Amino acid sequence: MKFAPNILKAFLINLCFIGIIFASESCPSISPKIAGDNPVEQVDAILNDIVCSFIKLQSSDGTKLASTLNLTKKKILPYIDLEYFTEMALYSYWDQLELRERKIFERDIKSSLIEEYVGILSGFTHWEDIQISINENYTQSENTANIKVSISLKNDITSVTLKLIRKNRWKIYDLDYQTISIVDMEKMGYDSKIKRRGIKKLIEKMLSRS
């Protein structure tokens, strides 16, 4: 994921910031498990849960790296559909892979996400400056939904689209930021690596890093 650090940071920042305007009045947050099943209600609950957890962590230990890592694994990754993210990123290569190989790519994406998340989260302190607006007029097609969000930070406004998929529950699998999709960026990265090395060699390299 090193080839798209800015996009990943946008993904992280918006995941964490979307619920912040509600957090001061709604902490402790409602668990997504008991929130409504509407995609907007789930996004609101998911992101409030993330934000409230990091506010509590920051007040208790100043968001130390190890604590941030643990909270990222507990409060962020469970809300991302890593399997579907990986399937979309591998695209035409997905059907060529055995189950074990698919899990290797999924683990590679998970490790990269953690690496990008923790450093940014542990260093951020300006929670009070964030304002957000979730557009309730979302689009849905069968088990997928797109939700538009506007984020304001010190007069800078960013618009993103969160993409969700529902299997047993709604989870985030992609984010469009300034017309750029994280999945598409990851797809291009893997496609380039596979064409240079071959898919088996790339898998061997990923295994050597684990």
Q: What pLDDT does 15 receive?
A: 53
**Structure confidence at residue 4 (pLDDT):** 41
Domain count, the chain: 1
Buried b (16+ CB within 10 A) or exposed e, 64-77: eeebbeebbeebbe
How far is the C-alpha of 17 from the C-alpha of 152, rounded, in Å? Answer: 10
Say which CATH number the domain at 26 has. Answer: 3.10.450.710
Could you tell me the residue range of the domain that residue 164 belongs to? 5-209
Instruction: Kindly tell me if the per-residue pLDDT of 21 is higher than 70.
Output: no
* Residue 28: per-residue pLDDT: 67
Percentage of the chain with pLDDT > 70?
76
pLDDT tens figures, 90-146: 999 999 999 999 999 999 988 887 877 777 777 766 555 656 677 888 999 989 999
Answer yes or no: are the C-beta atoms of 71 and 45 closer than 8 Å: no
Question: What's this model's pTM, rounded to 2 decimal places?
Answer: 0.80
The single-letter DSSP state of residue 128 is: G
- pLDDT mean over 180-196: 90
| Direct distance between the N- and C-terminal alpha carbons of the chain, in angstroms, rounded to an integer | 16
Return d(Cα 202, Cα 108) in angstroms, integer: 11
Largest CA distance in the chain: 52
pLDDT of the residue at 33: 81
pLDDT bucket at 77, cuts 50 / 70 / 90: confident
The pLDDT tens digits of the residues spanning 149-180 come to: 776 666 777 788 999 999 988 999 998 887 78
More confident residue, 47 or 142: 142
